[in-house]
Amino acid sequence: MQSERGAYVQGETCLPKPLEHLSKEEIERKRVIATIMTKTLSHLTQEYIKNGFEWLLPVIFSKSTDPLWPDPGASIEKRIEAEIYGEMVRTTLSMIVHKIVASSLLIPKLFTLSPNVRIERRDRCLTGWHLYEFTQLDFEVREATSSDIMNFVDKLIKNLILYLRNNAKDELEYLESYNRLNVPDLPLKVFDRIDLEEKYGKDWENVFKENIREPAWVVNIPREFYDYEDFSTGRWDNYDLFLPKYGEVLSGSRREWEYSKIIRKMERDNIRRENFTLLLKLAREGKIKPSAGAGLGVERLVCWIVGSKHIGEVQIFPKIPGLVYDL
């Protein structure tokens, strides 16, 4: 069954149609969303450059990539591997390892627009918030604290909304998003995951997003080995940014850099050391430096800005779990 806004309908969820199936009106809506995407990326990348970041090109294949384990939010159905020149490589799940190494050895402040391939479970097509191929605005800062990153992102989000309200008013009004997209007060509110679990239960993420009116932070989330964990208290020095009604759009942390801690956490979480040989070598030699950073989901951010019912609508060629279109 088809709906009016460029989507197939499955149950109560609208699944975006491929580009060649859109009507004239649906094409126009897609074009306006593409303009918002362009203005969003233009503004964000210039903000990073103005703040002293160097722009790295992305990595597509690598022997080492994000394990996405034991993060309870991960839902990977399969991992893509290929043989190149006699070596097994993987598609990028995120550039976390590359960011840590690059910021330690070469560039103290860096960012990249990184394509990520995560083959999600098919049922995640119905969340309206998941894709099997997407782009992250990934960044890392040597010697930064979590507060440094969170304060930077606070200003980044506020300035972006101000910019779009001033420079994309016609497009936002066409999409009926202008009046909804309010400039948030800073600093953005911060919530502890433990408090949210006590208040809302294990499904706190879905409840939390329905109870906030502005973007808000959640800290102290058990996650992968590279997120900093205080063994004496059990607290994690990490942070996720949530968008009202939509959910998590950014995930980041202060990083582990000490070899002994990284090894201990890998053993505890059953992480294969052979997938992180270079990172472990550099850490053992004391070449990995303290840093902090995050990855901002570009499609998720624009989905919230334009008020799309499904994140696939903001992609020219939708990459929806369980659906494979020609392009």
Please state whether the predicted TM-score (pTM) of the whole model is above 0.75: yes
Distance from C-alpha of 60 to C-alpha of 313, rounded to nearest angstrom = 24
Looking at the structure, give the CATH architecture of the domain made up of residues 7-189+288-314.
2-Layer Sandwich (3.30)
Residues 32-63: tens digit of each pLDDT: 999 999 999 999 999 999 999 999 999 999 99
Distance from C-alpha of 20 to C-alpha of 131, rounded to nearest angstrom = 20
In the sheet with 61-62, reading across from the earlier edge strand, the strands are: 61-62, 87-91, 81-84
Q: Mind giving me the DSSP string for 96-136?
A: HHHHHHHHHHT-SEEEEEEEEE-EE-GGGGGGSS--SEEEE
Q: Mind giving me the DSSP string for 230-265?
A: ETTTTEE-EEEEEETTTEEEEEEEEBP--HHHHHHH
6: left (phi over 0), alpha (psi -120 to 50) or beta: left
Distance from C-alpha of 89 to C-alpha of 322, rounded to nearest angstrom = 24
Distance from C-alpha of 197 to C-alpha of 219, rounded to nearest angstrom = 12
CB-based contacts of 304, cutoff 8 Å, min separation 6: 243, 244, 245, 246, 249
Distance from C-alpha of 307 to C-alpha of 37, rounded to nearest angstrom = 13
* Torsion sign across C-alpha atoms 150, 154, 159, 164: positive
Q: Which two tokens stand for residue 115?
A: 């394509």
Q: Give pLDDT < 70 ranges for the chain.
A: 1-13
Q: Helix, strand or coil for residue 183?
A: coil
Contact assessment for residue 302 and residue 141, using Cβ atoms and an 8 Å cutoff: no
- Domain definitions of the chain by residue range: 7-189+288-314
Mean of pLDDT over the chain: 94
